[in-house]
Amino acid sequence: MIEIILVFAALVVAAWWIRRRIRMLRVRRAEAFRQKALNPPRRARKATVWVLHRVFAHRFLWRPLVGSVRMTDPAPVARRGLVRTVRIRIDRHLLIAGLTGSGKSSTARVLAAHVLAAGGQLELWDLKPGGPEAAVWGGSARCETSPAGIVARIRDLLADPARDGSHLVIVIDETSSLVRQLTAKQFDELCSLVDIARIYNIHCWFGCQHPSRENLPSAIQANVGAVISHRVRSKVESGVVFNDPAWAPHELRGPGAVLVQEGDSEPVRLRALWLSPERFKALPGGPQIPSSTPVTDPVPLIKVPPPVEAAPVELTDNQELVCLALELADRPLPAKAVTEATGLPQNRVSDALRSLVARSVVTKDPDAYPNLYELAPANKELDR
């Protein structure tokens, strides 16, 4: 009798264990299918990106506008697929977020080109050390590179916001630097200008690399009419930019990937149009007001008279690694490939490439998307 009871108990336990195991397998299988649907195979994704960049790269380059252009006309900013162009209204306050190298500066240049074509005025407030963007925008915009100059400009606009009635676009790069360096009274003056700006055809574009509640206060975000976000660092920063979990710019991959929120638009991943600094400098400039502070180059140029024999170029450790990666590759490389080859942070690779291009050690193809870098012919054999 005892043996029968033990056998029956064992069968019950075995049946329970088998049933539980089957349930677990079904749950795991359903989760595996869900993950596979959300994340296509990595090789297929890499192949798709390679084809898009190599074969259809020209589709993502900014093209000069044809015909008469007005500020109220939607400006092209990105592409959805290869055919459909996404446009937004730029006669409003904008927020342009994104990490270094994600394409934020190119997006600002694309929209600024529309302003120049429409005959509007441009201003750039750049508080980064050395004013790197001011060197690019200097020929097309009034540039302010000091806190004192920006504060004086804010007060001038508050005193006479109507001006001549023309459209004025103020590009603030970087917003966090500006907010940190303003006093409470000066920040209130900035918010007052933002509040009344659109009435007098003044439009502020706020650029931000690392958005947070401190450097993007609610007083500024409440006036933003559209948001353009490239890749940001974390989910917390995504929540600051969009305040909606469906919009996740921290999940974007690669330079140029962007989300555009205007009105009730859906969170669709787009590919931003590309406009290189060289092509932007060549654009015909619009009407300007003289800057109150001089525009300085972001990187001091080293002017050496041409010697009879090639003189060795003094490089930093990061620049040596970048040159070595380009020399070993023996072909033009994008900035992302250089970052992977050197193992350096992306911002340091960008600084090194910018400095090497300015010193003519490395050449850059401005029409390629993304930009391609290679050693200059005269510097193939650098004395390191």
- 8 A C-beta contact, residue 362 and residue 294: no
CA pair distance 271, 104, nearest whole angstrom: 12
115: pLDDT confidence band, cut at 50, 70 and 90? very high
Distances (CA, A) of 21 to 29, 31, 82: 12, 15, 47
Q: What is the Rg, in whole angstroms, of the alpha carbon atoms belonging to the chain?
A: 26
In a domain, 40, yes or no: no
Is 223 in the same domain as 355?
no
Output the DSSP codes for 35-80.
HHHHS--HHHHHHHHHHHHHHSGGGGB-----S---TTSPEEEEEE
Is 276 in the same domain as 321?
no
In a domain, 16, yes or no: no
What pLDDT score does 74 carry?
Answer: 92
What pLDDT score does 39 carry?
Answer: 63
Is 150 in the same domain as 266?
yes
66: pLDDT confidence band, cut at 50, 70 and 90? confident
Range of the domain at 152: 60-281
Question: Of 281, 307, 337, which residue constitutes the final position of a domain?
Answer: 281
* β-strand pairing of 75-80 with 84-88: antiparallel
Taking only the tens place, the pLDDT of each residue in 240-292 is 999 888 899 999 988 889 999 988 788 888 999 999 889 998 887 655 555 55
Is 247 in the same domain as 327?
no
Ramachandran class of 302: left when φ > 0, alpha when ψ lies in -120 to 50, beta otherwise: beta
- 8 A C-beta contact, residue 323 and residue 356: yes
Question: Of 222, 256, 281, which residue constitutes the final position of a domain?
Answer: 281
Is 209 in the same domain as 346?
no
The edge-to-edge listing of strands for the beta sheet with 168-172 is 84-88, 75-80, 270-272, 257-262, 226-229, 94-97, 202-208, 168-172, 121-125, 142-144
Taking only the tens place, the pLDDT of each residue in 95-113 is 999 998 889 999 999 999 9
Is 192 in the same domain as 328?
no
User: Which tokens sit at 295?
Assistant: 């525009």
Is 188 in the same domain as 268?
yes
- 8 A C-beta contact, residue 321 and residue 305: no
In a domain, 90, yes or no: yes
pTM for the model = 0.64
Is the pLDDT score of 61 beyond 70? yes
Rounded to the nearest 10°, the torsion over CA 170, 176, 182, 184 is 110
In a domain, 129, yes or no: yes
Taking only the tens place, the pLDDT of each residue in 322-342 is 888 887 777 788 888 888 888
Taking only the tens place, the pLDDT of each residue in 358-369 is 888 888 876 666
In a domain, 299, yes or no: no
CA pair distance 287, 120, nearest whole angstrom: 7
Is 267 in the same domain as 371?
no
Burial of 292 (0-12, 13-18, 19+ CB in 10 A): middle
Is 216 in the same domain as 105?
yes
What pLDDT score does 285 carry?
Answer: 66
User: Which tokens sit at 141?
Assistant: 């915009």
In a domain, 23, yes or no: no
| CATH number of the domain where residue 323 is located | 1.10.10.10
Number of domains in the chain: 2
What pLDDT score does 323 carry?
Answer: 84
Look-up: residue for tokens 């890499």? Answer: 46
CA pair distance 83, 28, nearest whole angstrom: 39
Closest by Cα among 248, 198, 190 to 215? 190
| CATH number of the domain where residue 118 is located | 3.40.50.300
CA pair distance 114, 76, nearest whole angstrom: 8
In a domain, 113, yes or no: yes
Is 234 in the same domain as 367?
no
- In the chain, the percentage of residues whose pLDDT exceeds 90 is 32
Is 154 in the same domain as 247?
yes
In a domain, 64, yes or no: yes
Distances (CA, A) of 336 to 152, 341, 342: 40, 9, 10
Distances (CA, A) of 373 to 23, 201, 338: 54, 40, 9
Is 272 in the same domain as 373?
no
CA pair distance 123, 137, nearest whole angstrom: 9
